[in-house]
Structure 1
Amino acid sequence: MGSEKVIMHPVSGEIWWLNRTASAIWACFAVPASTREAVSTLLDRFEIDAETCRSEVSEVCDRAIAGGFLVPVGDPA
């Protein structure tokens, strides 16, 4: 499985397999964090341009929120 992760929704039992990119993004939200903080963390860890990073974080977050895996708190970043 390597750097992939498996997450399960605590209510629905739905299971998602996260690829390497989604796993790295997911790890940024182990503690409450803004998308801006996640992007900053990922830019420090990986060789990726800022626009691609923002796009990937936004896509993963949008899907995770829609699926009920992440709950937004406060103002959007």
Structure 2
Amino acid sequence: MDDDTATLTTSSHPVTFRGRGLGLRSSERLTLLVCPLCSQRNGERMAAFGTCVWCGYEPSRRDEEPVAGEPSSSRKASNFNK
């Protein structure tokens, strides 16, 4: 069975989309955890696609902002998977 947490690596850093939603950005991909448009949480498998399973929102990289108060390397992605 595939390990869904493989996409949530320690090299990922948390991002929002103009202050809404929550994602994890790594050098290879975006994992969309909470949609900034409909505020729904994606399941682990669907989050890895980087698109909201509920409303189809596809985040734009230009809308990404680092999570306020979080140094990009100090927080591990595994903290978001609880």
Q: TM-score, normalised by structure 1?
A: 0.27
Higher relative strand content:
2
Q: TM-score, normalised by structure 2?
A: 0.26
Higher relative helix content:
1
